Amino acid sequence: MSDQAQSHSSPTLTDRIESLALALGFDRVGRAAASSGPDTARFADWLHRGYAGEMEYLERRSAERLDPSVLMPGVRTILVVGLFYEPREGSPEPDNANSRPRGRVAAYAGGEDYHTVLIDRLRTLAEGLSALAGRRVAARCYVDTGPVQERVFAARAGIGWVGKNTLVIDPDLGSKMLLGVILTDLDLEPSVPLNDHCGTCRACLDACPSEAFPEPYVLDATRCIAYTTIEKRGEIPLEQRSDQGDWVFGCDVCQDVCPWNRKRRVGDLPDPLVLRERLGPRPEWAAPALAELLALDEETWSERVRGTAVKRARYQGLIRNALVAAGNSRDPSLRSAVVRHARGSDSLLAEHARWALGQIEGAQGSSN
C-alpha cells in the first residue's frame, strides 16, 4: 500500500508535506520517483565525453548518481525543494563604492553559504515526515552535498524544466533557485513534470562568454567560467583567461540573459523566515574591488569568506581569479597590487600575475 493511500481524509499526506515545506520557508516543493531512467543515464555520457574536467568526485560515485537506490537502498520518493535567491530589495551598495575596477561574484554566492541556509530547514522537513506519515520514515537530506542529480529529480518533481543552459527554470520566477533533496522510503504519487518552454530561444547558448555549451542542454564544464573559477585547481588555461572577463567567483551570464529570469519578481515573494535575505550578497561580496581582493593574505581571506560559499575556491583560486580579472581590466591602477604577486613565492599566482601585467602593459603600450 502506498503511503499516500494511508491518508483517506483531506488534506492528503502530500498536501501536508507541501504545507510543511512552505512553512519552513521553501518556495517550491515536489515529488519524484526515485528510479533510474533515460534522464539519469545521460550523466554517464556526459562523463564519458570528459565534460566533468577535474571534478573526479563525480566519476567516483557515478553509480549512486545514476541510480539513487545505490545511494539509499529502499528509497522510493525524492522530495525536492527550491528556494529562490536574490535579496528582496536589490543588491546592497558594495563596500568601498568608489574603488574600481571591480570583480563579479555569482549571485548565489555572496551571502550566507546556501548549504547552511538550506540544510537545517531540510532536516526539519525530513524529521517532520515521520509525524506526518504516522510511521518512521527513512530520509536522507542533500544540498549539493551528495551523489544525487538534483536537477534531474527537480524536473521530474515539477519544480521546473531543465533549460538549454542545463538549469532548472520555474515558469514564474526563473532559474535563480537553490535546490535541496530528501531521499525517502515514502511511496508517494510523483508530481507532474512541466513542459520545456525554451522553444526556439538560444540566448544562453549565444551569450556564454566561453562557448561552454557544445549543444543545447549540454554543458562542457571544462569551459564554463563557474567551473574554472570555483572547481578548477591550478592554472586557468591561457586561451580561457580573456573569456573570464571580470568574474572572480562563478558566472551568471546564461541566467541573466534568459527571458524567464528577466520577467521574475522574486522580491514579491514572502520571506517570513528570512532565508532569502540570508542568501543576499554581503556588501564585501556585492562587487568586490579587485585591488582589495589582491591585497588579501590567507588570514584576511579566511575572515572575508567565512560563512559564505566563496571559500570553495580556496585562497589561491580566488587570488588567481582576481589576477585574471585584473589582467582583463587592463587597468594600470592595479599594477602594484599585481606586481606583489608576480614577486611572491606562489609560482602559480606569480605566473597569472605576469600574465596580468602583460595585459595591463600591452594596453598601455597600444594607447601611447
Residues in contact with ligand SF4 by CB under 6 A are 163-165, 198, 201-204, 257-260
* Residue among 110 and 163 whose Cβ is closer to ligand SF4: 163
* Residue among 80 and 198 whose Cβ is closer to ligand SF4: 198
In whole angstroms, how close is the CB of 66 to ligand SF4 at the nearest point? Answer: 25
Identify whether the C-beta of residue 258 lies closer than 8 Å to the C-beta of residue 89.
no
* Residue among 171 and 270 whose Cβ is closer to ligand SF4: 171
Question: Using CA atoms, how far apart are residues 308 and 116, in angstroms rounded to an integer?
Answer: 9
Could you give the residue ranges of the DSSP H alpha helices within the chain? 13-23, 38-48, 56-60, 62-66, 68-71, 114-133, 150-156, 203-207, 225-226, 238-241, 253-256, 259-262, 275-279, 283-286, 290-294, 298-305, 314-329, 335-342, 347-367
Instruction: Kindly give, in sequence order, each residue whose CB lies less than 8 Å from that of residue 352, ignoring residues fewer than 6 positions away.
Output: 235, 236, 320, 323, 324, 327, 341
In whole angstroms, how close is the CB of 164 to ligand SF4 at the nearest point? Answer: 4
Question: Using CA atoms, how far apart are residues 264 and 27, in angstroms rounded to an integer?
Answer: 14
Question: Using CA atoms, how far apart are residues 33 and 30, in angstroms rounded to an integer?
Answer: 10
Question: Using CA atoms, how far apart are residues 172 and 188, in angstroms rounded to an integer?
Answer: 26
Q: Which residue is nearest to ligand SF4 (CB)?
A: 163
* Residue among 215 and 239 whose Cβ is closer to ligand SF4: 215
Question: Using CA atoms, how far apart are residues 150 and 168, in angstroms rounded to an integer?
Answer: 10
In whole angstroms, how close is the CB of 158 to ligand SF4 at the nearest point? Answer: 18
In whole angstroms, how close is the CB of 204 to ligand SF4 at the nearest point? Answer: 3
In whole angstroms, how close is the CB of 178 to ligand SF4 at the nearest point? Answer: 17
In whole angstroms, how close is the CB of 205 to ligand SF4 at the nearest point? Answer: 7
Question: Using CA atoms, how far apart are residues 289 and 302, in angstroms rounded to an integer?
Answer: 17
State how far the alpha carbon of 129 is from the alpha carbons of 4, 20, 62, 149, in Å.
Answer: 12, 9, 28, 22
Catalytic one among 39, 67, 95, 144? 144
Does residue 144 carry a catalytic annotation? yes
* Residue among 202 and 343 whose Cβ is closer to ligand SF4: 202
Instruction: Kindly give, in sequence order, each residue whose CB lies less than 8 Å from that of residue 26, ignoring residues fewer than 6 positions away.
Output: 81, 82, 83, 121, 125, 180, 275
* Residue among 195 and 347 whose Cβ is closer to ligand SF4: 195
Find the angle CA(198)-CA(267)-CA(310) to the nearest 5 degrees: 80
Active site residue ranges: 144
